[in-house]
């Protein structure tokens, strides 16, 4: 769980978390999948993220989720990729891998993705295609 000013921002769960306590490079590893809930200002879930593997490197302030990564927002957007990296200090989420964003009216796919940590400003870096979705 991550909170800021007594407000829950993120809740993380997984079937198994390994806490590696090496002094020079401590990290937490979710080897059997991870599920993350992001909370908005009203303390309701604004989006979720799931992946089959995740690791958080404490010293670097970096979280990497891999393998079948899916982010879904409550407003109907979905991101699918094989890897996402969260830079905690810069408050940025990105990947250099193939990514696909599905919205209620189109699908955008390409290589590379960048967003701020709440996904409110997100974009595919090299768009390969845009497909309209009929209602």
Instruction: Write out pLDDT tens, residues 31-65.
Output: 999 999 988 888 889 889 999 999 999 999 999 99
Which residue matches tokens 């590696």? 20
This prediction's pTM: 0.86
Please name each of the domains of the chain with its CATH number.
Answer: 2-96 (2.60.450.10)
Report pLDDT for 42: 82
Judged on CB neighbours under 10 Å (0-12, 13-18, 19+), 31 is middle
Tokens of 111: 């290589």
Average pLDDT of span 97-122: 92
Phi first, then psi: give them for residue 30, nearest 5 degrees.
-105, 100
Q: What is the mean pLDDT of the chain?
A: 90
């Amino acid at each position: 769980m991550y909170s800021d000013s007594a407000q829950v921002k993120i809740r993380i769960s997984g079937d198994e978390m390994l806490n590696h306590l090496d002094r020079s490079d401590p990290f937490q590893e979710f080897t059997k999948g991870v599920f993350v809930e992001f909370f908005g200002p009203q303390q309701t879930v604004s989006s979720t993220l799931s992946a089959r593997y995740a690791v958080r490197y404490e010293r670097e302030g970096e979280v990497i989720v891999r393998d079948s990564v899916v982010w879904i927002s409550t407003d109907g957007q979905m991101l699918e990729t094989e890897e996402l990296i969260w830079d905690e200090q810069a408050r940025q989420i990105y990947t250099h891998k193939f990514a696909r964003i599905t919205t209620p009216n189109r699908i955008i796919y390409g290589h590379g993705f960048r967003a701020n940590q709440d996904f409110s400003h997100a974009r595919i870096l090299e768009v390969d295609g845009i497909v309209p979705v009929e209602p």
